[in-house]
Amino acid sequence: MDINKDELAKIIDEVVKALDDNVCERNSESAGDYGVFKTMDQAIAAAEKAQTELQTNFSVQEREVLIKAMREEIKKHVEKMAKMSVEETGMGRPEDKVVKITLATDKTPGTEDLRTEAYSGRDGLSILEEAPFGVICSVTPSTNPAPTIINNSISMIASCNSVVFNPHPVAKGVSQYAMKQLNKAIINAGGPANLLTAVEKPTLQTVEECMHDDRVTMLVVTGGHGVVKAALSSGKKAIGAGAGNPPVLVDDTVDIAKAASDIVKGSSIDNNVLCTSEKAIVALDSIADQLIDCMEAENAQFVDNPKAIENIVINEDGTVNKEYIGKDASYILESAGIKPKNKDVRLAIIDVDIDHPIVRKEQLMPVLPLVRAKNFEEAMEMGVKIENKNRHSAIIHSKNVDHLTAFAKKIGTTIYVKNAPSYAGLGAGGEGFSSFTIAGPTGEGITSARTFTRKRRCILVDGFSII
């Protein structure tokens, strides 16, 4: 029988689809819809069962096989998730979402992150191992929906937990899509169904239900102050990855064009929705004008009427106008009655005082205020004021080692980036692994598999020590 290329491709497609449907059918009863359930009770029950199976039947090496499959599968969906994310939430830029999703997929550590410690001596041998917590309730944000789901899934499964996700309702479509692809990869690699679960319709009530369920043993919340507070009041082990307001200091020792380029890149990525992105510049007065000129050369736009921007992005009660979070700079400028210099302008810059609301609020928009300082001492004080004890992130551009060290000590942030765009602190163009759950308030810092473990000690007296 003669068969041409197109017919062959059609047959292959049909066979692949039939196989896929078959896997789906085999798992439909136990897997919900690849981890999505009608009720929170079902989502938690399924995650509990899956965690028991993982812990009982899968070695560390076998868990790593599942993680490899998760990474490989998710890579097929990066562009789609990036597009879905912008369409669903109305925030960010698809090309920048691609960077963030790829970073989470490639640079979140797996089981290699786990450590066993040993103590040996006259009395024998003790080992200290990192054991799973069990079922984790993970609350995820609207600003980085897919990267947070991917990052937490890899870290939490590497440490042998299962996860009940509570995605932000405005990002539930893309969050559930990412979770389903990960579950599909786990099942196809021979792993348990439902290691990752969620409810079909997440609400604040379902988060509450999940946080207070006895089967859930750890809470990991990635979001603003409200949800961190709710988790910390739950009476359970809680890891809080909260809001930030990263200042970026620029002194007079730097290559100003390079500092300007780094700041525009770091602050404008995904329209500034990253909690780690530069949110306010503190520049020495002596170089501030030159810095603004160099930022304009990097496709930022200086706006000499800050009031026009303030009027639209800050509400009358002083809160941030959510309508503009993560929107393009050109849209914000046009809405403020200012002509954008081009449709792809990355950032609007305004020159204001330290107490301006756009400086003091975490506004999550491509609007970057600049504040002038007389000297480096004053710049540091302003930086500390802007960061507001969030213990989150700060950036500095300086070639003076004393300045680099002094501000690090004063600001006390979890991430401190020197002479690079802020995202170097997430492992993009900087050394180290990546994480989208940065636990400042509770102190775990850049989270990874070992963060989601509890320490267990196992002792053998009078044996196994060979010294």
Residues that bind ligand NAD (CB under 6 A): 139-144, 166-169, 204, 207, 222-224, 226-227, 230, 241-244, 275, 362, 436-438
Write down the least CB distance from residue 370 to ligand NAD, Å: 21
Question: Do residues 245 and 360 make contact, with C-beta atoms less than 8 angstroms apart?
Answer: yes
| Torsion of the alpha carbons at 360, 362, 365 and 366, rounded to the nearest 10 | 50
User: What is the helix (H) or strand (E) element at residue 258, kind and residue range?
Assistant: helix 256-268
Q: Which is nearer to ligand NAD, 66 or 179 (CB)?
A: 179
Write down the least CB distance from residue 262 to ligand NAD, Å: 21
Amino acid residing at 169? P
Q: Hey, what are 107's tokens? A: 């640079």
Amino acid residing at 252? D
Write down the least CB distance from residue 351 to ligand NAD, Å: 25
Other beta carbons less than 10 A from residue 130's beta carbon: 19
Q: Which is nearer to ligand NAD, 330 or 447 (CB)?
A: 447
Q: Which is nearer to ligand NAD, 66 or 424 (CB)?
A: 424
Residue owning tokens 């090309």 = 95
Secondary structure (3-state) at 185? helix
Residue owning tokens 């309730």 = 137
Q: Which is nearer to ligand NAD, 244 or 421 (CB)?
A: 244
Write down the least CB distance from residue 168 to ligand NAD, Å: 4
Alpha-carbon gap, residue 433 to 422, rounded angstroms:
15
Write down the least CB distance from residue 456 to ligand NAD, Å: 27
Question: 15 to each of 10, 33, 106, how far by Cα in Å?
Answer: 9, 21, 30
Alpha-carbon gap, residue 420 to 271, rounded angstroms:
18
Secondary structure (3-state) at 409? helix
Please tell me the total number of residues recorded for the chain in this structure. 467
Please, which residues have CB within 8 angstroms of residue 372's CB and are 6 or more apart in sequence?
A: 282, 283, 284, 285, 288, 351
Q: Which is nearer to ligand NAD, 148 or 301 (CB)?
A: 148
Q: Hey, what are 337's tokens? A: 């009655």
Alpha-carbon gap, residue 46 to 176, rounded angstroms:
16
Q: Which is nearer to ligand NAD, 168 or 372 (CB)?
A: 168
Write down the least CB distance from residue 145 to ligand NAD, Å: 8
Alpha-carbon gap, residue 445 to 360, rounded angstroms:
23
Question: 423 to each of 68, 245, 275, 310, 444, how far by Cα in Å?
Answer: 25, 14, 10, 26, 19
Q: Which is nearer to ligand NAD, 301 or 393 (CB)?
A: 393
Question: Do residues 420 and 267 make contact, with C-beta atoms less than 8 angstroms apart?
Answer: no
Write down the least CB distance from residue 307 to ligand NAD, Å: 25
Q: Which is nearer to ligand NAD, 203 or 286 (CB)?
A: 203
Write down the least CB distance from residue 247 to ligand NAD, Å: 14
Write down the least CB distance from residue 392 to ligand NAD, Å: 6
Q: Which is nearer to ligand NAD, 121 or 318 (CB)?
A: 318
